[in-house]
Amino acid sequence: MNKLLIIILLSLPMFANAQPGVSPVVEREGGKFYSHVVETGNTLWGIQQIFGVPVDQIVAANPELSNGLKEGQTIFIPVTSESIAKIPTTEYKVRKSETLYGLAKKFDTTVDDLVSLNPELKDGLKKGQIIQIPCCAEDGTSVTILPPEITTPNPFVTDTIENEDGSADHVTFSFSDSTVRHIVMSHETLYSVSKRFMVSVDKIMEVNALTSTSIKEGQILIVPVKAERIERVEIRPVPLDYDPNGEGPLEFDKKDRYRIAIMLPFYLDGGAKYSKMVSELATQFYMGAKMALDSLERKGLKADIEIYDTGNDSVKILNLLADTSFLSIDLVIGPFFPSNMDIVAGYCKANRIRMVCPVAAPEEMIEQNRLVYQAVPSGEILMRRLAHDMLVNNAKDRIVLVKPIKESDVLMYEAYKNEFNSALYDGERPTLIESTVGSFTSQIVRGVNTLFVIPATDRITAMKFMNNLNKSAFRSRAKNLFVYGTKEWDSYSDINNIYKNKYNFHFASPNFLNYYSDGMVQMNKTHRSWYKTDLSRMAVHGYDIVSYFCGEFFLESSKKSTMMMSAFRMQQLSPKGGYENLEFFIVEQDEYELFDSQVERDD
């Protein structure tokens, strides 16, 4: 009994203002209609029950309902003899001097409805007369009304479309009272149930008071169904369950609106791991990302952007991921630190969410994760790409690979060597000469172009190499000596810049920023007007990352943005692996300026 009372009480708000006799009657197109404002919880089935008017008549009077009911929308329900009969009423004793108009105002109804309910009123009101009035008694006592029988089938056909082959498709209107009961099958997950009924995981968890996404066979779920709709019926297979360890690329449905999470280490709360430099870089990235989002919105992107300050705190990230609302995120950009990336990557893999690493990440992190996109080529990728490029374009030159001193740099050394010696090559493969920082000068030959590749990231090795080269440069003309270091060398101001300029310094880079290009000049002006400061490389990086991946995932090809300093060519590592960026630049120093050497690259 208590449960029934609760159900009745919960139902009252939905019916309180949606009744004939309460909804005003208006005249339009020669007929009379109840003017009803759609409220939360309304369905066509419910409105049919309340007004006693079949759904097909309601739809015919409101063609816009082909897009479904919307809260706050005004619809018009035809006034019929059946609808008048359905008006909930109670008795009322007429008092002295009362008029029909006064009673209509008093009970928020119309004179016509009063006369329809009381035909004898055509002869006028009399003191003491007992009449029927809509809705409730003057003292507010509610009247219990049982809903009428449903007269409209669900679904019902509103039109039939003849196909060229002689078959027919039906345009149907389906409606539901709000929920269905679903018994979980052995192979199902909460994600597959959400896809089957086109309802978010969050919503199912909320309705069923679930505290985790774990469900079991035989469990009964209450699933809220979508609003009524008119559409051509399409029979399609139920999507297979997502397998986190499956193979091949994944497909994602287009949405009207997306949720994008950007995780950045702002360190707004300080903390033991606080880094001013990292905090500033995160802020600059965010500034560029905001500019990209503004541009994407003008191109048609509809998305809710959620910014999270993660610092370098794995506990904060774990707490963030524990919130079930995160399950409906469509794309994660960030975080910055490898250990935190690994946590987020694991979550994204388990829950079928795409993740973009905006800074270099360990390759092993994406080897078995199809959801991760490595936006910035790692040092090993850059060396493989450089080796392939030089194999194609410098086969007639003398190429010397110098082994670095720092142990972690040896991975880049091996990546270059393996690619050079094993990549497909048409013709006689040139010989790759291997040497060390202390002995490479013996490989200098007068009159022959000698290209030294030294994949070292530390300042000491770079300085030692350049000093040794300068001491032995007399063995050849400077124009025949070429140095290929790493992008880190550009920031080492204590390496003699004259040497770098003299010996044709190059490096493989994931990006190249030309501040003097037309696009960059305009972007810098916009950045200054927004933030009252000059544009930084990290801001441009944030712009490119957000522009490319949001455009690639959520916009049509014709609406994608032009990159400012980066280039992207994403390739899946393996059938089970994520994606790495294979695009790169070869940057050259000339006359103390850096520029893209424009070397032709063949795959």
pLDDT in tens, 195-224: 666 777 888 888 888 887 788 877 878 777
Mean pLDDT of 310-338: 91
Q: What is the pTM of this model?
A: 0.59
Q: Is the confidence at residue 259, as pLDDT, over 90?
A: yes
For the chain, domain boundaries: 2-84, 88-134, 156-232, 258-377+518-568, 379-509+587-596
Q: How many residues does the chain have?
A: 603
The predicted structure's pLDDT at residue 296 = 94
The predicted structure's pLDDT at residue 140 = 41
The predicted structure's pLDDT at residue 215 = 85
Q: Is the confidence at residue 1, as pLDDT, over 50?
A: no
In 234-281 the beta strands, taken as DSSP E runs, fall at 258-264
The predicted structure's pLDDT at residue 248 = 82
Ranges 36-45, 149-158, 179-188, 533-542, most confident: 533-542
Average the pLDDT over each of 26-30, 187-191, 348-352, 541-545 and give the range with the smallest value: 187-191
d(CA 511, CA 194) in angstroms, rounded, equals: 41
Q: Is the confidence at residue 274, as pLDDT, over 60?
A: yes
Rounded percentage of the chain residues whose pLDDT exceeds 90: 37
Q: Is 574 helix (H, G, I), strand (E, B) or coil?
A: coil
Q: Is the confidence at residue 233, as pLDDT, over 50?
A: no
What are the pLDDT digits (tens) for 6-36?
333 333 333 334 455 456 778 887 788 888 8
Q: pLDDT band for 484, please (50, 70, 90 cuts).
A: very high
Closest CA relative to residue 326, chosen from 347, 356, 301, 310? 347
Is the pLDDT higher at 30 or at 430? 430
Average the pLDDT over each of 83-92, 144-153, 391-400 and give the range with the smallest value: 144-153
Multiple choice CATH, 379-509+587-596, 3.40.50.300, 2.60.40.420, 3.40.50.2300, 2.40.50.140: 3.40.50.2300
d(CA 393, CA 238) in angstroms, rounded, equals: 51
Q: Which fold has domain 156-232?
A: Membrane-bound Lytic Murein Transglycosylase D; Chain A (3.10.350)
**The pairing of beta strand 179-183 with beta strand 258-264:** unpaired
The predicted structure's pLDDT at residue 384 = 93
d(CA 134, CA 119) in angstroms, rounded, equals: 14
Mean pLDDT of 180-197: 72
d(CA 53, CA 150) in angstroms, rounded, equals: 10
Mean pLDDT rounded to a whole number for the chain: 80
The predicted structure's pLDDT at residue 566 = 92
Phi, psi (rounded to 5 degrees) for 367 = -65, -30
Q: pLDDT band for 235, please (50, 70, 90 cuts).
A: very low
d(CA 530, CA 292) in angstroms, rounded, equals: 13
The predicted structure's pLDDT at residue 224 = 74
36, 17 in Cβ contact below 8 A?
Answer: no
The predicted structure's pLDDT at residue 433 = 95
- The CATH homologous superfamily to which domain 258-377+518-568 belongs is Response regulator (3.40.50.2300)
Q: pLDDT band for 290, please (50, 70, 90 cuts).
A: very high
The predicted structure's pLDDT at residue 146 = 35
Tokens of 581: 């960026």
The three-state DSSP-derived secondary structure of 105-167 is HHCCCCHHHHHHHCHHHHHCCCCCCEEEEECECCCCCECCCCCCCCCCCCCEEEEEEECCCCC
**Is there a shared CATH topology between the 156-232 domain and the 379-509+587-596 domain?**
no
Is the pLDDT higher at 573 or at 483? 483
Q: Which fold has domain 88-134?
A: Membrane-bound Lytic Murein Transglycosylase D; Chain A (3.10.350)
Average the pLDDT over each of 107-116, 148-157, 299-308 and give the range with the smallest value: 148-157
Multiple choice CATH, 2-84, 3.10.350.10, 2.170.16.10, 3.90.1300.10, 3.40.50.720: 3.10.350.10
Those residues with Cβ within 8 angstroms of residue 598's Cβ, 6 or more apart along the chain or in another chain: none
Burial of 216 (0-12, 13-18, 19+ CB in 10 A): exposed
Is the pLDDT higher at 411 or at 169? 411
